[in-house]
Amino acid sequence: MMTNAQNSGATQWFRHARQLENTQLRQLAQSGKLVMRISHLVHMLQCERGASNIWLCSQGTLYEREVRASRALVDEECRQLHILFQHIMPVAGSALCHRIAGTVWCLDQLTTLRESVSGQTIDAQQAMEQYSRTLRHLLGIVPQLNDSIDYPHVAGGLVALYSFMQGKELVGQERALGAIGFTQGEFNPQMRQELVDRIDGQQPCFDTFISLASPVLVQHFRQQCEASGAIEQLRRQACTRQPQLDNGEHALRWFTLQTQRLEQLRHLEEMLITELLNAVARRLAEETYALPLDNWLDDRADEPLSLRRDKQLLWVVRQQARQLEQMSAQLASLQDALEERKVIDKAKSILMNYQQVSEEQAWQLLRKMAMDKNQRMVDIARALLTVKSLMQG
The total number of residues shown for the chain amounts to 393
Share of the chain above pLDDT 70, in %: 75
What local confidence, expressed as pLDDT, does residue 92 receive? 75
**pLDDT > 50? residue 303:** no
Q: Report CA-CA distances (Å) from 85 to 109, 169, 266.
A: 18, 22, 22
Q: Would you report the helix, strand and coil content of the chain in percent, each value rounded to 5?
A: 85, 0, 15
In contact, 15 and 289? CB cutoff 8 Å: yes
C-alpha span between 235 and 377 (Å, rounded): 31
Query: CA 113, CA 184: separation in Å to the nearest integer?
Result: 21
Q: How many CB atoms lie within 10 A of CB 361?
A: 14
Average pLDDT score over residue span 203-213: 88
pTM score of the predicted model: 0.67
Q: Which among 137, 169, 179, 138 is positioned nearest to 50, based on CA atoms?
A: 179
Greatest alpha-carbon pair distance for the chain in Å reads: 101
Residue among 247, 252, 190 at smallest CA distance from 59: 247
Note the pLDDT of residue 30: 65
Please give the Cα distance from 61 to 337 (Å, whole number): 26
Q: What band does 7 get if pLDDT is binned at 50, 70 and 90?
A: low
**CA distances for 285 relative to 136, 207, 249, 288, 373, angstroms:** 35, 31, 54, 8, 76
Range from 129-143, 191-205, 270-284, 291-305 carrying the lowest mean pLDDT: 291-305
How far apart, in whole angstroms, are the C-alpha atoms of residue 368 and residue 379? 13
Q: What is the DSSP letter of 357?
A: -
Q: What is the pLDDT of residues 242-294, one digit of tens each?
A: 776 677 788 889 999 999 999 999 999 999 988 888 877 777 776 554 444 45
Report angle CA 22, 23, 29 to the nearest 5 degrees. 85
What's the DSSP call for residue 89? G
**H or E segment and range at residue 119:** none
What is the spatial distance between Cα 75 and Cα 57, in angstroms, rounded to a whole number?
Answer: 24
